[in-house]
């Protein structure tokens, strides 16, 4: 009669965070021409300098970075790799968390963060910016990111307006509204792409596949606070999501404020998704399958499912992105190609192995 306790949630999350940290460091260093040892040394030395130091190791770090080759390596790791890894963490965590919440809200195992039209709105916004030739940034916010987020907000508002007649959120209507908004926005996006010139079209198609190749610290700081706050808000309704799996009416009769919980789930999940799409395009598979994998391992209690999915979604996306970056020689693949290619077989293995029993508890 195992159950989810605060201690278990903290223990599992803590352990998984340590794993994520290791994955992040390894992925930031991997694929450097200078090799592991030298990259690691450069990374360690600049980490000491950046963290302020205050001991004998300061001298060591200064010595290491005095070497121009090491200084270059350090710049590569900190300016190129690290923001990309950090953005992978934010987007992977956000998409997996949104996937958990949408599957719970809609009581539909096929739900992904994109089922309610958010990504189609985000894509339309981004593609509009690209067609208008707005490639720069305004006050540090890239036009593509800003337009994409605006498009997501438009889709969220539309879906809620159609899916919640009289303020009562209905799962079936939300899904229908999502399908329609997806189709409608996608058709405009396709039109904009079709009528674009070759260079623009190439850029649009690449963006639509989703990827972390645009990563920089600006995008990390623009997305991290939203996703972090969104995650906390969504975790607050995680127990309500458990009870909601018996249906709205039974949940109300068990004392859940059903409308409040559903509204928080819808807007929280949608906003987190919109933010992720705006900085990385619509990266598939993470938000659909990571929640299922974690259910196989830890069971369906959302209080544990949400943090475990967010952390493993982050690690998974960072790993896939590293593979996309270094696995295929000089040509970099869109990470969306890798997520399903790597994750699919792993999911099948887990599905066969777990059956309906939980692997952990």
Partner 1 sequence: MRDDALIKAEGVGFAYGEVEVFDRIDVGVKRGEFVGIIGPNGSGKTTFLKLVSGVLKPTRGHVSLGGVGLRHMSHKEVARKAAVVPQESQVGFDFTVFEVVLMGRTPHLGFLSFESGEDVEAARRAMEVTDTERFADRFLDELSGGERQRVIIARALAQEPEVLLLDEPTAFLDIRYQVGTYDLVKRLNRQTGVTVLAVSHDVNIAGMYCERLLLFGKGGIYRDGRVAEVLTPENVEAVYGQEVVTAEDPRHKVRWMVPISKELRGEGTGDEAGCG
Q: Summarize as ranges the residues that interact with partner 1 (CB under 8 A).
A: 1, 3-6, 104, 107, 236, 239, 242-243, 245-247, 249-250, 252-258, 295, 299-301, 303, 356
In this complex, which beta carbon is closest to partner 1, that of residue 156 or of residue 288?
A: 288
In this complex, which beta carbon is closest to partner 1, that of residue 84 or of residue 302?
A: 302
> By the 8 A CB rule, do 246 and 254 touch?
yes
The conformation of residue 300, written as its DSSP 8-state character, comes to S
DSSP codes, 40-78 = HHHHHHHHHHHT---STHHHHHHHHHHSHHHHHHHHIII
Q: How far is the CB of 199 from partner 1 (least distance, A)?
A: 47
In this complex, which beta carbon is closest to partner 1, that of residue 72 or of residue 257?
A: 257
DSSP codes, 9-32 = HHHHHHHHHHHHHHHHHHHHHTT-
Q: How far is the CB of 14 from partner 1 (least distance, A)?
A: 16
In this complex, which beta carbon is closest to partner 1, that of residue 31 or of residue 299?
A: 299
Number of H helices, E strands in the chain: 16, 2
Q: How far is the CB of 254 from partner 1 (least distance, A)?
A: 5
Tallying the residues shown for the chain, one arrives at 361
Distances (CA, A) of 145 to 96, 135, 229, 279: 20, 10, 19, 6
Q: How far is the CB of 241 from partner 1 (least distance, A)?
A: 10
Residue labelled with tokens 């259910």: 295
SS3 142: strand
Q: How far is the CB of 236 from partner 1 (least distance, A)?
A: 7
In this complex, which beta carbon is closest to partner 1, that of residue 143 or of residue 298?
A: 298
| Residue of 343, 297, 262 lying closest to 92 (CA atoms) | 343
> By the 8 A CB rule, do 118 and 274 touch?
yes
In this complex, which beta carbon is closest to partner 1, that of residue 242 or of residue 270?
A: 242
| Residue of 128, 43, 114 lying closest to 288 (CA atoms) | 114
In this complex, which beta carbon is closest to partner 1, that of residue 96 or of residue 275?
A: 96
Q: How far is the CB of 8 from partner 1 (least distance, A)?
A: 9
C-alpha 126/C-alpha 142 separation (Å) is 10
Strand partners, 273: none
In this complex, which beta carbon is closest to partner 1, that of residue 38 or of residue 107?
A: 107
Q: How far is the CB of 128 from partner 1 (least distance, A)?
A: 37
What are the two backbone dihedrals, phi and then psi, of residue 226, each rounded to the nearest 5 degrees? Answer: -60, -50
What are the two backbone dihedrals, phi and then psi, of residue 142, each rounded to the nearest 5 degrees? Answer: -65, 145
Q: How far is the CB of 175 from partner 1 (least distance, A)?
A: 14
């Amino acid at each position: 009669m195992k159950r989810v306790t605060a201690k278990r949630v903290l223990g599992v999350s803590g352990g998984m965070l340590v794993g994520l940290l290791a994955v992040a460091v390894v992925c930031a260093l991997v694929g450097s021409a200078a090799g592991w040892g030298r990259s690691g040394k450069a990374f360690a030395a600049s980490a000491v300098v950046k963290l302020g130091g205050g001991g004998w190791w300061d001298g060591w770090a200064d010595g290491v970075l005095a070497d121009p080759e090491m200084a270059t390596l350090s710049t590569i790791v900190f300016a190129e790799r690290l923001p990309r890894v950090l953005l992978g963490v934010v987007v992977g965590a956000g998409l997996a968390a949104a996937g958990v919440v949408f599957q719970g809200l809609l009581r539909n195992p096929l739900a992904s963060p994109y089922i309610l039209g958010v990504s189609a709105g985000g894509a339309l916004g981004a593609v509009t910016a690209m067609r208008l030739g707005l490639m720069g940034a305004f006050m540090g916010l890239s036009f593509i990111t800003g337009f994409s987020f605006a498009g997501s907000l438009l889709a969220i508002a539309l879906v809620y307006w159609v899916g919640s007649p009289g303020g009562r959120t209905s799962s079936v209507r939300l899904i229908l509204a999502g399908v329609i908004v997806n189709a409608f926005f996608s058709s405009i996006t396709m039109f904009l792409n079709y009528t674009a010139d070759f260079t623009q079209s190439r850029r649009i198609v690449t963006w639509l596949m989703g990827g972390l190749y645009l990563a920089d610290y600006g995008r990390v700081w623009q997305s991290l606070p939203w996703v972090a706050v969104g995650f906390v808000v969504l975790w607050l309704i995680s127990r309500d999501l458990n009870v909601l799996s018996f249906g709205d009416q039974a949940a109300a009769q068990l004392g859940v404020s059903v409308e409040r919980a559903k509204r928080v789930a819808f807007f929280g999940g949608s906003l987190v998704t919109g933010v992720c799409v705006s900085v990385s395009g619509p990266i598939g598979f993470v938000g659909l399958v990571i929640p299922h994998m974690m259910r196989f391992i830890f069971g369906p209690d959302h209080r544990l499912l949400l943090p475990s999915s967010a952390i493993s979604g982050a690690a998974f996306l960072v790993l896939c992105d590293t593979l996309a970056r270094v696995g295929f020689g000089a040509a970099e693949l869109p990470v969306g190609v890798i997520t399903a290619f790597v994750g699919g077989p792993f999911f099948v293995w887990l599905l066969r192995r777990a059956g309906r029993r939980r692997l952990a508890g």
